[in-house]
Amino acid sequence: MSRHTVWGMVAGVILTVLVVLAVPVMLRAVNGSDPGVPGPGEGNGSTAAPATVDPDALAGRPACPGPTVAGVELDCLGDTGPAPAGARPTVAVVWAWWCAPCREEMPLFETFAEQHPDYTVVGVHADTATAAGVARLDEWGIGLPSYTDPHGAFAGTLGLPGVVPVTVVTDADGSVRGTFPRTFTSVGEIDDAVKEALS
């Protein structure tokens, strides 16, 4: 073999190793994961996050506006209250307790809800670790009503992409008008997306 061929093979092997090492880092960046935030099912530390919720933890959470979101029946991370009088559009943000972008986005949705009482604004926690979802809402100081979807019924029924956060906008009769698989960075961005979906 010539010296040129040997160096070409060495360069090829080195490039392959670099690509293999870079893929997990790139996927983490694309998915918005924070290495300091546990992933799904990882829990905080070496134990898995608990799936069952202490009823006392739910007692302080806000009631959800009825038993369904976009026609999908879900349990509430709190009490289930009556559906609001008069049908109105719904803005549902699908989130998870381990999602770093969700930490930044949830307060924006809470502010959006306060500014727009003409919409029903709720969260849908998309993870089996329901107790971790309740704890995270409390930790973040989020008073937005949130449902739990440990088996993916909401995403499956609506054909949502397998990412969080994703925002779903429905009209007053519950028909999906817009799906936004992205992280919003301001209340104005949320407002623009909702108006676009409902126009």
Nearest to 180 by CA among 115, 198, 141, 107: 198
**CA dihedral sign of residues 22, 28, 32, 37:** negative
Against a cut of 0.75, is the pTM above it? no
Determine, yes or no, domain membership for 39: no
Residue 194 pLDDT > 80: yes
Element (H, E) at 82: none
pLDDT tens-digit profile of 72-108? 999 999 877 666 667 899 999 999 999 999 999 999 9
Predicted confidence (pLDDT) per residue in 153-176, tens digit: 999 999 999 999 999 999 999 999
Per-residue model confidence (pLDDT) at position 53 = 60
Contact between 120 and 88 under an 8 Å Cβ cutoff? The reply is yes
Q: Which is higher by pLDDT, 121 or 63?
A: 121
Single-letter amino acid code for the residue at 194: V
H-assigned helices in the chain = 3-31, 55-59, 100-115, 130-140, 153-158, 187-198
66/26 same-domain check: no
Q: Could you say which DSSP state residue 85 is in?
A: S
Predicted local distance difference test score (pLDDT) of residue 78: 84
Q: Does 124 fall in a domain?
A: yes
- CA atoms of 75 and 124, how far apart (whole Å): 10
Same domain, 103 and 187: yes
* 69, part of any domain: yes
Residues 112 and 181 in one domain: yes
* pLDDT surpassing 50 at residue 152: yes
Whether residue 65 is found in the same domain as residue 23: no
Give the CA dihedral 119, 143, 45, 55, nearest 10 degrees.
-110
The total domain count for the chain is: 2
| CATH classification at residue 105 | 3.40.30.10
Would you say residue 18 lies in a domain? yes
Q: Are residues 108 and 20 in the same domain?
A: no
The residue among 96, 87, 7 whose CA lies nearest residue 43 is 96
Find, among 91, 96, 82, the residue nearest to 149 by Cα. 96
Instruction: Name the residue range of residue 78's domain.
Output: 55-198
Are residues 59 and 100 part of one domain?
yes
Return the pLDDT at 171.
96
